[in-house]
Amino acid sequence: MTEATCRRELELEIPAEEVQKASDKIARDIAKIARVPGFRPGKAPVTLIRRRFADDIRSELLQQLVPGRIEEALTKDKLVPVTQPQVDKVDYSEGTPLKFRASFEVLPEFELAPYNDLDVEVVAPEVNDEDVEKTIGEMRESAATFVPVEGRAIQDGDYAQLKLVGVPQGGGEPLRAENVMCRIGAEETLDAFNENLRGAKTGDQRTFDISYPADYGDPKLAGKSYGYVADVTAIKERKLPELNDEFAKDVSESKNLADLRTDIRKRLQEGRDHRILELTNEKLLAKVVAANEFPVPEALVEQQMDARLERAVRSIASRGVDPRSVKVDWAGLRARQRDRAVEDVKAELILDRIATAEKIEADEETLEKEIAAIAERGGESATAARARLTKQGVLDRMKSKLRSDKTLDWLRQHARVKVSVKSEESK
């Protein structure tokens, strides 16, 4: 055992008398049902049963005696394991004590450093008119429409509507697309499209070749060459809506443009306040973690690394990308999460200790609301959702998260938080 880790090893022994008594009972129980050639059921000598079923008796003996002995030792030494004890170095022969080693990880013991009246400073941006106008500009971009261009050729900034046929060099299934919009002159548009379609008119047909780079975003095209036939079916311009009261009504529930600006400023301010809250929590956690030095169970670190990797995979999938198609060193990515995972585990253990010290418990009302929301999304009753979440072990995790959140609220309420405004130059 090393003091710098949470791993514990117990060398345990069960007295020979207790082992023999259990062994005799197991042998008698087996004798009652065992079928031994030459003997009626239940009539075979116990000595023969012991020889014939030695492995079964040993296995049953370990299953009956070892868990109880481990539990007694844990209770006596006041240890709280976070992993299932692993048993090895089993030493047993008939008539002798049963000896074995139990290895497991436990929650660390540590004395909480002071956590009241912490000082944290958070730097947050100020919401100004420029932010409001930028948001309106983004809303106009989202509401833009495409209008046909008549009487002239394609120029930079136009959108060429194309019917495309691409034939792979060396043979293969052609690529066909009936209605593709291509922005000419844009940075994201391949040079071959820009060069060959610039100056074309509606009804024109252009033929050109493209060799896709090996790192091209679409793995189906990466590193391949195609010959394209592009028919220009239309030329369009992207038109932004006029900035007026009608625009405000179309993109929101605001009555006019002035109300829209007011609503946007309010939303931006709410977002800023939420970000201040997040930053404050991060800094508070960083402070309490730095103030408390103790080892963490490796099993919990591994779980946290898995959770972080899972969040990364979900984030990729949420953008409509198959994680299996992305060239990512998943093992390396997981390994790089280790330091953050250790900090996460330490933070949770510290919050748990603070919650216990301050008698903070999960908010049942909030828990019920979350269960009700889950039930509504799943189309089931709240009672059924609670039962399912309990069976899956999710309810305990939800309670733990609510307790941690409530403890963070407590820390923030008892801290001295200074909010500084980020200057315009640094935004």
**Given 208, 239, 270, which residue is the final one in a domain?**
239
User: At 38, which CATH number?
Assistant: 3.30.70.1050
User: At 182, which CATH number?
Assistant: 3.10.50.40
How much is the pLDDT for 42? 67
Kindly state whether residues 155 and 214 are assigned to the same domain.
Answer: yes
Taking only the tens of pLDDT, the chain with its 427 residues reads 344 788 999 999 999 999 999 988 888 887 777 777 777 666 677 677 777 778 888 888 899 999 999 999 999 988 889 888 999 999 988 788 999 999 999 988 899 999 988 999 999 888 999 999 999 999 999 999 999 999 999 999 999 999 999 999 988 889 999 999 999 999 889 999 999 999 999 999 999 999 998 888 787 888 899 999 999 999 999 999 999 999 999 999 999 999 999 999 999 999 999 999 999 999 999 999 999 999 999 999 999 999 899 888 888 888 887 887 777 788 888 899 999 999 999 999 999 999 999 999 988 888 899 999 999 998 999 999 999 989 888 888 899 999 999 999 999 999 999 998 875 555 4
How much is the pLDDT for 47? 73
Q: How far is CA 345 from the centre of its chain?
A: 15
**Do the domain assignments include residue 87?**
yes
**Given 239, 258, 280, which residue is the final one in a domain?**
239
Kindly state whether residues 173 and 100 are assigned to the same domain.
Answer: no
Contact 206, 197 (CB under 8 A): yes
Kindly state whether residues 50 and 93 are assigned to the same domain.
Answer: yes
- Within 10 Å of residue 248's Cβ, how many Cβ atoms? 21
If you search the block for the tokens 């508070």, which residue do you land on? 284
How much is the pLDDT for 424? 52
Contacts of the segment 82-90: beta carbons below 8 A, 24+ positions apart: 82/6, 82/106, 82/107, 82/297, 82/299, 82/300, 83/297, 83/299, 87/62, 90/62
**Given 53, 80, 105, which residue is the final one in a domain?**
105
Kindly state whether residues 273 and 384 are assigned to the same domain.
Answer: yes
Kindly state whether residues 16 and 91 are assigned to the same domain.
Answer: yes
Kindly state whether residues 421 and 289 are assigned to the same domain.
Answer: yes
Supply the DSSP symbol for 423.
P
**Do the domain assignments include residue 90?**
yes
Token pair listed for 353: 């200790």
**Do the domain assignments include residue 133?**
no
How much is the pLDDT for 2? 41
Q: Say if pTM beats, i.e. exceeds, 0.85.
A: no
**Do the domain assignments include residue 286?**
yes
Kindly state whether residues 191 and 276 are assigned to the same domain.
Answer: no
Structural domains in the chain (count): 3
**Do the domain assignments include residue 261?**
yes
**Do the domain assignments include residue 339?**
no
SS3 per-residue string spanning the chain: CCCCCCEEEEEEEECHHHHHHHHHHHHHHHHHHCCCCCCCCCCCCHHHHHHHCHHHHHHHHHHHHHHHHHHHHHHHHCCCECCCCEEEEEECCCCCCEEEEEEEEECCCCCCCCCCCCEEEEEEECCCHHHHHHHHHHHHHHCCEEEECCCCCCCCCCEEEEEEEEEECCCCCCEEEEEEEEECCCCCCCHHHHHHHCCCCCCCEEEEEEECCCCCCCCCCCCCEEEEEEEEEEEEEEECCCCCHHHHHHHCCCCCHHHHHHHHHHHHHHHHHHHHHHHHHHHHHHHHHHHCCCCCCHHHHHHHHHHHHHHHHHHHHHCCCCHHHCCCCHHHHHHCCHHHHHHHHHHHHHHHHHHHHCCCCCCHHHHHHHHHHHHHHHCCCHHHHHHHHHHHCHHHHHHHHHHHHHHHHHHHHCCEEEEEEECHHHC
**Do the domain assignments include residue 118?**
no
Domain that holds residue 175: 145-239
How much is the pLDDT for 272? 93
Kindly state whether residues 289 and 371 are assigned to the same domain.
Answer: yes
Kindly state whether residues 152 and 16 are assigned to the same domain.
Answer: no
Kindly state whether residues 91 and 22 are assigned to the same domain.
Answer: yes
Helix-, strand-, coil-residue percentages of the chain, each rounded to 5 = 50, 20, 30
Kindly state whether residues 12 and 76 are assigned to the same domain.
Answer: yes
**Do the domain assignments include residue 328?**
no
Kindly state whether residues 34 and 72 are assigned to the same domain.
Answer: yes
